[in-house]
Amino acid sequence: MSTTDQTHAPAARAKAPRMSRYTSEKKAGKSNQGLHTKKSIILTIIMGALLIYSLLPLFWLFVNSTKTQAELLNSFGLWFSGDFALWDNIVATLTYNDGVFVRWFGNTVLYVVVGAGGATFLAALGGYGLAKFNFPGKKAVFAVVLGAVAIPGTALAVPTFLMFSQMGLTNTP
């Protein structure tokens, strides 16, 4: 071996692809299938139960939205009965009190688009500024942001309502 081959040998070894344990076992004909079948069956049963537990209220809501008021009180809650009254119930809800539910839904969409969208945009701008730039007081700003995140939103609900009511902003979009 010449001296040039000896100097380039470590570099050639570093460039060679390394096989992971999974790749080497796969090439050797070994597989990790069947190692945890007992645990996965138990986990599958648990996840199935949690799925049913999560979806059952939605199913109950759909089934009972197809019933009239009388059928709702006099029938089994987890299955359909009597006339299919879904469309009548939807029309009654949307026309109730001159369409107040439609107005409430529009307000909710407005709050979500403007509020959540605006908050996400401002958070992205602030996060970019904190991540990319060094400035005096950066640690203090970061501490204030972390402190604000640590306070739950429900703790601020009443003070925020009182502040908005003093400013005359309640019952307005």
Say whether pLDDT at 22 is over 70.
no
Residue 36 vs residue 96, higher pLDDT? 96
Which H or E run contains 6? helix 3-15
**Residue of 56 and 3 predicted with greater confidence:** 56
Please, is 67 exposed, middle or buried when counting C-beta atoms within 10 Å of its C-beta (0-12, 13-18, 19+)? Answer: buried
pLDDT at 25: 54
pLDDT score, position 2: 54
Q: Which two tokens stand for residue 150?
A: 């640590």
Give the model confidence (pLDDT) of 114-156 as tens digits: 999 999 999 999 999 999 999 999 999 999 999 998 999 899 9
Summarised one tens digit per residue, pLDDT across range 68-111 is 888 888 888 888 888 898 999 999 999 999 999 999 999 999 99
Contact 82, 67 (CB under 8 A): yes
Predicted TM-score (pTM) of the model is 0.50
Instruction: Provide the phi-psi class of 170: left if phi over 0, else alpha when psi is between -120 and 50, else beta.
Output: beta
User: Amino acid identity, residue 95?
Assistant: T
Q: How far is CA 51 from CA 13, 24, 54, 156, in A?
A: 50, 37, 5, 33
